[in-house]
A and B are shown apart, each in its own frame.
Chain A
Amino acid sequence: MIRFDSVHKRYANGREALAGVSFQIENGEMTFLTGHSGAGKSSILKLIALIERPTRGQVLVNRQNTAGIGRGGIAHFRRQIGVVFQDHKLLHDRPVADNVALPLIIAGVPKREIDKRVRAALDQVGLLGKERSRPLELSTGEQQRVGIARAVVAKPPLLIADEPTGNLDPDLALEIMRLFKRFNDVGVTVVIATHDVHLIEQVGGRRIVLGEGRMIG
């Protein structure tokens, strides 16, 4: 469950990204944040992952008020959230398997279990057999799927994605969205920021429309 209570976010440069946003997302929901660039989609995701903190208002994630999470608690808090980025944020000097394994290594999962779960995650995104490849040897779509495998490998209850299809052609984009939908089908709460309304219509799900830092639909 995610709840925003009249959340304001003003950045250090004075830009007001969010001007009083309130909404609630239930467990197991598939939600799209849409709007033009600069509407505040990314800010909402950053507030959920505690990359940023609200200037005013409250953000609750899994019944936890993020204001109560100190610096030392952020790392553990983030382990319950899988994050997918537009630019993948993969480590290019490590093979695919190591990239996907990172959250498990951090959580202290034993080696044999890691291998098993990495293979399972890569299987889910259709990249089984690419374990030893380097990210740059893969296509953009494949790199994004590695990013998704990494986000889901530790089985977090919440998956958030910032413009995950931004760099992909329409067919690949739809494929990636359907992948998210499959995770949602097995109970994962999914929140995706995208400006591609056409894509949302094809996949289906709840829509939160933002404009200039406010909810407009």
Chain B
Amino acid sequence: MNPSIGLKLRAYFARHAQVLVGSLGRLVQQPVASLMTMAVIAIALALPLCLQVFLENAREATGRWSESFDLSVYLHRNAGGARADSIAKELRRRADVAVVRVVTAEQALAEFRAYSGFGAALDALKDNPLPITLVVTPSLAASTPDGTVALKRALAAVSDVESVQVDTDWIKRLQAMLDVLRNLVLLSGVLLGLGVMLVIGNTIRLDVANRRGEIEVMKLVGGTDSFARRPFLYSGIWYGLGGGLLALVVVAVATAVLARPVARLAALYGSNFRLEGLSLPLAATVLLTAALLGWAGAWFASTRHIRAIEPS
């Protein structure tokens, strides 16, 4: 390489590094103002992020549930307890069945009485209208939609089985809801990302106005617009990075605060589900996106306003 070009390149990168550090120094000199700007950015970023964390956790939780639909197998009224036990024993031998639980008519009635609130009405009945129920949990391998359907058909063919029920509707509804939520996250992410760009743009606009004299002098001694713009672009990147970092802190605090109540809620449902925070790749994406938004906001604002400054 031509040595003078090499030297110039080195001078160019050294200059960039200097501006990078210099613009950070300028932010540090006004800690309160800089932090306020970063806090606004952080709040704007934290909202879609929290939604995203919620979404991922919800997907994780429902994913586990949908893997283990229990099938309710209702026996004929005239099938007795002995028959129920023998069917249960037979079913347990099947490869696509993991667990079979026998719910006797008495147990079913007691449960119904406890949860339905029809206790008094049930007392009026002469005998128990409820059948014996076998609650069948499919094996892991059979826990696919197709596997569940096949198992349901097989169970219905067993003698003394009245009917088989799988309640998948609520899972479908939940997943549709999560779908809506996912679109909401995307939409709010785009809108708030634009907001972040505007906030940074506005801050940079004020910075440019405050340093008008300096920009004039730069232009007078032959500085190009892009030379004058450079420190502002780096400021934008710092604002974005700072805001992104704060947003990650906000999300981390929010997940920490929610972890205990969520675990308690899950325990009530007999689940050992744990709230997961941001994954490392997502956190890295957030920082990168925030820096990019900062750069873009600064670019638009500084290009426009530096162009308008002419020495007189």
Contacts and interface: CB of A to CB of B under 8 A. Distances in A.
Interface of A: 49, 51, 72, 74-79, 83, 89-91, 102-103, 105-111, 150, 154
A60 to B, nearest CB: 19
B260 to A, nearest CB: 51
Contacts of B225: 75
18 contacts: A51-B310, A74-B219, A75-B219, A75-B224, A76-B222, A78-B220, A78-B221, A89-B220, A102-B218, A103-B222, A106-B222, A108-B12, A108-B15, A110-B7, A110-B10, A110-B11, A111-B11, A150-B221
B214 interface: yes
B216 interface: yes
B221 A83 contact: yes
Task: Name the residue among A51, A77, A90, A150 with the largest chain B CB count within 10 angstroms.
Answer: A51
B222 A107 contact: yes
B14 A111 contact: yes
Contacts of A74: 219
B217 interface: yes
A212 to B, nearest CB: 22
A210 B10 CA distance: 49
Contacts, number: 60
B14 A89 contact: no
Interface of B: 7-8, 10-12, 14-15, 213-214, 216-225, 227, 310-312
Contacts of B7: 110
Nearest to B217: A89
Contacts of B10: 110
Contact of B15 (A90, A102, A105): A105
Task: Name the residue among A74, A77, A90 with the largest chain B CB count within 10 angstroms.
Answer: A74
A90 B216 CA distance: 11
A186 B68 CA distance: 92
Contacts of A83: 220-221
Given A79-B222, A106-B223, 4 more contacts: A102-B221, A106-B224, A106-B227, A109-B11
Interface pairs A-B: 7 shortest CB-CB: A79-B222, A78-B222, A75-B224, A110-B11, A103-B221, A106-B223, A110-B7
A56 to B, nearest CB: 21
Nearest to B312: A51
Contacts of A89: 213, 216-217, 220
Nearest to A156: B222
A72 B227 CA distance: 12
Given A51-B311, A51-B312, A91-B214, A108 B221 contact: no
Contacts of A107: 222
Contacts of A150: 221
Contacts of B216: 89
A51 B211 CA distance: 19
Contacts of B12: 108
Task: Name the residue among B7, B221, B227 with the largest chain A CB count within 10 angstroms.
Answer: B221
A83 to B, nearest CB: 6
A105 B221 CA distance: 10
